[in-house]
Amino acid sequence: MRSEPTLPQRTRARFHRRSLLAAAAALPAAALLPGCSDDNRRKAGGRITLRFQSLAWQQDSVKANRQLVAEWNRHHPDVQVRYVQSAWPTVHDQLLTSFEGGEAPDIIHDASDDLADFAYGGDLADLTALLPPRLKRDIPQQSWETGMFGGRVYGIPFLQEPRVLIANRRKLRRSGVRIPTPERPWTWEEFAEAAQRLTRGGTYGVAWPLKEPVSATLNLALSTGGRVFHRHPGGKVEVRFDAVDQVVPRTIHDQLNIDRTASRTTLGMGGSDTLPGFFAGRYAMVPLGFSYRQQIAQQAPEDFDWTVLPAPKGTVLEQGVSPQTLSVAEDCPHKEEAMAFIDFLLRPPNMVRLALGDWMLPTGQEALKDPALRVARHDWTTGTALAGSLRSAPAQSVRGYPEWKDKIATPGLQEYYSGAIGLDALRKRLVDDGNLVLARYQR
């Protein structure tokens, strides 16, 4: 188990990784007004009111969340939950200012890779002792690990998505390549060969949307045994870029620069940006998150035949994920009630409703068995079959990872994928420069 960081360490790390704007906004409150949570604000006539800050944004997902809150409120007149809408692009800064200003919501929806500093900083409640046994049993250990920091649970993982290959089924069939299944996925070599066979005329075999290349590269590298971040017994983390770490980035690089089976124009694109080209037949496959199926189902031309394939396998069929989580603020004076609401929200049928609303996979084993998530339509079955292969993203609990990602890995990988630098130069940057960055967080 890692030792708890000291306060100066916490503060230093926090302000290294935060955006200047948010830190500046939080600073005065942090200095002068710590922890002024107002209990009276939460009670009206003896009734507890908890604020649930949700990041649901798709229509069905917002609806499911609101309905569940309404159901809870109907059955729990003494513990009312207030639905507060927040947004993914601003949640980090908003939470930071909320925590420091003593205005944090009681129940917090976020992603596990955003929790580390809040957890280490003492902003989130340790839920280990509060977890109901049913919930503890229902979510597998590899998912729990995504919400654990220093051996304690700070975030309950409830929705996750594998990275998959969304493919043009007609082109796939016409090329004669073997269609991979979760039981028999492609190896990275087979994937490269398939991309070659699918590249013809004006069609590229694959389009890698690599606007943010780091998480895609690291999470997929888990399939070849690549971890990049290696934790020593003392708790210190070291960056390495060994042969197993290099398989995935090299495959992508070669597709872009040597085989020319991947479109170079999508290098700076986000996932959604590649969809029009995919629908127009310019690319046969696009590696995307499982939830992108919602956009494809909505936007694809009616005669467009698409399918979901598992991501390629290396030595194992594993990949890293950062699930959506639910946490409780340390300042919340009614942690047990907050946990009771979370328990209600994550009951198997409710978890299914949330998963369907977000087109993602539930972490709960019971929910995963639900027939609604085991249908062939929109390839839900492919996703549910992959759920067991999802692991905690190797980098997410590493302090200093965001800085390493922004300053070192993102530009390094972008240059490598564009062909501007070679593998040796990339390795030197990721490892030598990267370890210097991490060292500042581990003094």
Partner 1 sequence: MSTRQVSTRQLGRRATVKRTAGRTGQYVALLCYLAFLSFPFLWLLSTALKPPRELGSIHPAWIPEAPTLENFRQAFAQQPLLEAVGNSLLAAAVSAVTAIVLATPMAYVLARFRNRFSRVATAWVVISQAFPLVLVIIPLFLILKSLQLIDSRIGLIMVYVVWSLPFALWMLTGYVRAIPHELEEAAAVDGAGRTRTLVSVTTPLLAPGIVATALFSFITAWNEFFFALVLLKSPEKQTLPVVLTHFLGAEGVADLGPLAAAALLATLPSLLLFAVIQRRIAGGMLAGAVKS
Residues engaged in binding partner 1 (CB under 8 A): 20-22, 24-25, 27-29, 32-33, 55, 57-59, 62, 83-90, 93-94, 97-98, 101, 103, 105, 111, 211-212, 270-272, 275-277, 279-280, 282, 289, 292, 295, 298-302
Helices (H), 346-422: 348-358, 365-368, 380-386, 401-403, 410-418
Instruction: Write the CA distances from 50 to 68, 209, 238, 318, integer angstroms.
Output: 14, 39, 41, 38
Shorter beta-carbon distance to partner 1: residue 166 or 438: 166
Task: Detail the DSSP E strand segments found in 86-153.
Answer: 107-111, 148-149, 152-153
User: In the complex, what is the shortest distance from the CB of residue 177 to partner 1, in angstroms, rounded to a whole number?
Assistant: 24
Decide whether 53 or 382 has the Cβ nearer to partner 1.
Answer: 53
Rounded least distance, CB 64 to partner 1, Å: 12
Query: What are the DSSP E strand ranges found in 203-322?
Result: 204-206, 229-231, 237-239, 283-289, 306-310, 319-321
Q: Residue 356's closest CA among 55, 54, 52, 59?
A: 59
For residue 54, the minimal CB distance to partner 1 (Å) is 10
- CB nearer to partner 1: give 131 or 300: 300
128 closest CA partner among 109, 149, 143 = 149
CB of 84 to partner 1, least distance (A): 5
Residue 76 amino acid letter: H
If the CB atoms of residues 302 and 424 are measured against partner 1, the closer one turns out to be 302
Minimal distance, residue 4 CB to partner 1, in Å:
29
Distance of closest approach, residue 436 Cβ to partner 1, in angstroms:
27
In the complex, least distance from residue 21 CB atom to partner 1, rounded to whole angstroms: 6
Residue 124 or 192: which CB sits closer to partner 1? 124
Question: Which residue lies nearer to partner 1 by CB, 180 or 271?
Answer: 271
Give φ, ψ of 198 to 5 degrees: -85, -10
Q: Determine the Cα–Cα distance for residues 374 and 349; give it in Å rounded to an integer.
A: 14
Residue with smaller CB distance to partner 1, 82 or 240: 82
Count of H-run helices and E-run strands, the chain: 22, 17
Sequence-ordered list of residues with C-beta below 8 angstroms from that of 67, at least 6 positions apart, any chain: 353
For partner 1, which is the closer residue by CB, 2 or 282?
A: 282
Q: How far is the CB of 117 from partner 1 (least distance, A)?
A: 18
Please give the backbone phi and psi of residue 314, each rounded to the nearest 5 degrees, phi first.
-100, -115
